[in-house]
C-alpha cells in the first residue's frame, strides 16, 4: 500500500507510468534470475537509452523541424543527438552492459554465474534479440522551457491503470 500511495502522489501521470513500468520490468525477470537474464536486461536498457529514446526525439523533432516562431528547432544550444548502434566490441558499450548487469545481479543477491569476462558476456549477447524500433505515436515532448505541452503519451492513463492492475496481482509477501 505504501508504494501505491507514493505512485498516486505523483502529480504527472507520465511519472507514474515510468515508475510502474520500471517495477514491472524488474518483476518480469522472475524468481529464476540468471546472469544471462541480467545481461539481456542491460543490453535492452542500452538500446532504450542510447538508441530508442534518441530516435523518438528525432521522430518528434526531425532535423528540419521549426519552432512555433518559424526558426529551426535544432539551432543555438540545441544540437540534434545521434543514436548509437550497439557494438559488443566497443569497450564503452560492453562496459555499460557489464556494469548494469552486475548492478542488477547484486541488487537481487545473485552470485552464481556473475562474471566480468568480456568474451563470456559477448557470447551471451549473441543470443539477445533486440526488437525493431518503431516510432510511438502520441508522444508529447516539451520543445523548450516556455512550451506548455504536458510531456507524456496519449495513452498514459490507460497504461498506468493496466500496470496497477497487473502489479496488484503480485504477492508482496
Query: 152 with 13: CB under 8 angstroms?
Result: yes
153 backbone dihedrals φ, ψ, rounded to 5° = -125, 150
Mean residue pLDDT of the chain comes to 85
What is the pLDDT averaged over residues 124-153? Answer: 80
Q: For the whole model, what pTM was predicted? A: 0.78
pLDDT band at 71 (very low <50, low <70, confident <90, very high): confident
Position 145 scores a pLDDT of: 66
C-alpha–C-alpha distance, residues 132 and 53, integer Å:
13
Position 172 scores a pLDDT of: 60
Percent of the chain surpassing pLDDT 90: 46
Q: Does the structure show a pLDDT above 80 at 125?
A: yes
105 backbone dihedrals φ, ψ, rounded to 5° = -60, -45
Could you read off the pLDDT of 15-41 as tens digits, one per residue?
787 788 787 787 777 778 899 999 999
What is the pLDDT averaged over residues 107-133? Answer: 93
pLDDT band at 171 (very low <50, low <70, confident <90, very high): low
Amino acid at each position: 500500500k505504501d508504494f501505491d500511495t507514493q505512485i498516486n502522489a505523483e502529480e504527472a501521470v507520465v511519472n507514474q507510468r515510468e515508475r510502474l513500468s520500471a517495477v514491472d520490468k524488474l518483476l518480469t525477470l522472475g524468481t529464476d534470475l540468471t546472469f544471462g537474464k541480467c545481461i539481456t536486461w542491460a543490453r535492452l536498457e542500452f538500446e532504450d537509452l542510447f538508441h530508442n529514446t534518441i530516435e523518438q526525439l528525432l521522430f518528434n523533432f526531425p532535423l528540419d523541424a521549426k519552432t512555433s516562431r518559424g526558426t529551426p528547432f535544432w539551432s543555438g544550444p540545441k544540437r540534434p543527438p545521434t543514436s548509437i548502434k550497439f557494438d559488443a566490441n566497443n569497450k564503452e558499450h560492453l562496459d555499460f552492459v557489464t556494469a548494469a548487469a552486475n548492478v542488477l545481479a547484486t541488487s537481487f543477491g545473485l552470485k552464481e554465474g556473475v562474471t566480468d569476462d568480456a568474451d563470456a558476456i559477448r557470447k551471451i549477447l549473441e543470443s539477445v534479440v533486440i526488437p525493431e524500433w518503431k516510432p510511438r505515436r502520441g508522444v508529447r515532448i516539451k520543445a523548450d522551457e516556455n512550451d506548455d505541452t504536458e510531456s507524456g503519451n496519449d495513452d498514459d492513463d490507460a497504461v498506468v491503470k493496466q500496470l496497477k492492475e497487473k502489479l496488484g496481482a503480485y504477492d508482496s509477501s
